[in-house]
Amino acid sequence: MANTGIFNRSALVFLFALGLAAVAVPLLNLVVPSENVLHLPDYLVTLLGKYLCFALLALSVDLVWGFCGILSLGHGAFFALGGYAMGMYLMRQIGARGVYGNPNLPDFMVFLNWPSLPWYWQGFEFFPFAMVMVLLAPGLLALVFGWFAFRSRVTGVYLSIITQAMTYALLLAFFRNDMGFGGNNGLTDFKDILGFNIQAAGVRAVLFSLSALAVGLCFIAARGIVLSKLGLVIAGIRDAEPRVRFLGYRAEHYKLFVFVVSALMAGIAGALYVPQVGIINPSEFAPANSIEAVIWVAFGGRGTLWGAALGAIVINAAKSWFTGALPEAWLYVLGFLFIAVTLFMPKGLAGSFAGWSNLKKTSATPLPTPEMAE
């Protein structure tokens, strides 16, 4: 078999880097004194944590796009739904410490003169319930949406367009104040998580490490999926879907499977994102966000998993740096980066570095037949 196992060289390097970060970042922030040049400032811990959440989102997009050929331009919706589930839990934790001092109702509901907590907010005061919803909300959306989309055999650009429509519809819905999710202000002013002060340095560091852990675990799970026979089938669906059908596989079922798994990962990413940035609002549903996630994957290297994660981190790091260093020009620099990668590095960053060891093992020149030896 040409497979080199879930833990091949690039996987191990990636996981090692994650593990190192998960340990080093909290150390450099909490233990190393602030006068020391190696000290990692507080804001950087949050920033790096944010990058990791984006890396997980990129991973989820790579799973459906790089390995199954489903160009989802709406994965931001799954990210946002996971984020909202976490946000709703955090809102409930505020209790009476909000501006209006109402122990049961979040500030924005008091402001809207709502008499009581709507039914769909019930249960979010319990952490386990909220965590289930982090998975259930995006998962259910992916299941229903995917069921109709894949069954109707919509593919290619048409599928991408309706994923955009999906996230756009949610954007509009969540913007409305009467939906009860905070309207355009969203959910914010969180106080604590599981009893711990959400602003505390220690909590920040733990959230960072958890993000690294989530990326690592989902990476391993994704590797397991793509290296299994299921992975072979979805790669077949990406390369020659009719062939897969003629082999007797129900392509819709396979697509649905990876689409839902991917949505769950995106939901987890969103749920880890919200406590670190301290806010969730409907702009997370913006179609542009989903498109950006795809660009991270294309930049980093579609179909490699670790490449997608790397792409997300590099682009967002570049974004942060350029907005500070070149506030006028950063958009242009970013645009130039995208164009350059598309033109000169079509396989993204990952394609230019690694994968060569794998390629060497499997590609062989064809045996020459007499007629061809001319």
Which residues of this chain interact with another protein, rule CB under 8 A?
1-2, 225, 228-230, 232-233, 235-236, 239-240, 242-250, 253-254, 256-257, 361-367, 369-372
Cα separation, 57 vs 350, whole angstroms: 17
Cα separation, 87 vs 181, whole angstroms: 9
List all residues 6 or more positions away from 1 whose beta carbon is below 8 Å from its beta carbon: none
Using the minimum distance from each CB to another protein, give the nearer residue, 33 or 248. 248
DSSP conformation letters of 6-36? SS-HHHHHHHHHHHHHHHHHHIIIIIS-TTS
Using the minimum distance from each CB to another protein, give the nearer residue, 3 or 185. 3
Using the minimum distance from each CB to another protein, give the nearer residue, 60 or 290. 60
Smallest distance, Å, CB 296 to another protein? 23
Identify which of 217, 81, 192, 38 has the alpha carbon closest to the alpha carbon of residue 209: 217
Using the minimum distance from each CB to another protein, give the nearer residue, 5 or 327. 5
Query: What phi and psi values does residue 25 have, to the nearest 5 degrees?
Result: -60, -50
Using the minimum distance from each CB to another protein, give the nearer residue, 142 or 225. 225
Residue 279 and residue 108 in contact, taking contact as beta carbons nearer than 8 Å: no
Using the minimum distance from each CB to another protein, give the nearer residue, 97 or 153. 153
Cα separation, 274 vs 372, whole angstroms: 61
Using the minimum distance from each CB to another protein, give the nearer residue, 78 or 254. 254
Longest CA pairwise span in the chain (Å): 87
Smallest distance, Å, CB 73 to another protein? 24
Smallest distance, Å, CB 222 to another protein? 12
**For the chain, how far is it from start to end, CA to CA, in angstroms?**
33
Smallest distance, Å, CB 68 to another protein? 11
Smallest distance, Å, CB 369 to another protein? 6
Smallest distance, Å, CB 3 to another protein? 9
Smallest distance, Å, CB 363 to another protein? 5
Cα separation, 306 vs 14, whole angstroms: 7
Using the minimum distance from each CB to another protein, give the nearer residue, 38 or 359. 359
Cα separation, 315 vs 210, whole angstroms: 22
- Long-range contacts, 237-240 (Cβ 8 Å, 24+): 237/68, 237/69, 238/67, 238/68, 238/69, 239/69
Residue 306 and residue 213 in contact, taking contact as beta carbons nearer than 8 Å: no
Smallest distance, Å, CB 249 to another protein? 5
Task: Give the 3-state secondary structure of residue 194.
Answer: coil
Identify which of 43, 74, 26 has the alpha carbon closest to the alpha carbon of residue 202: 26
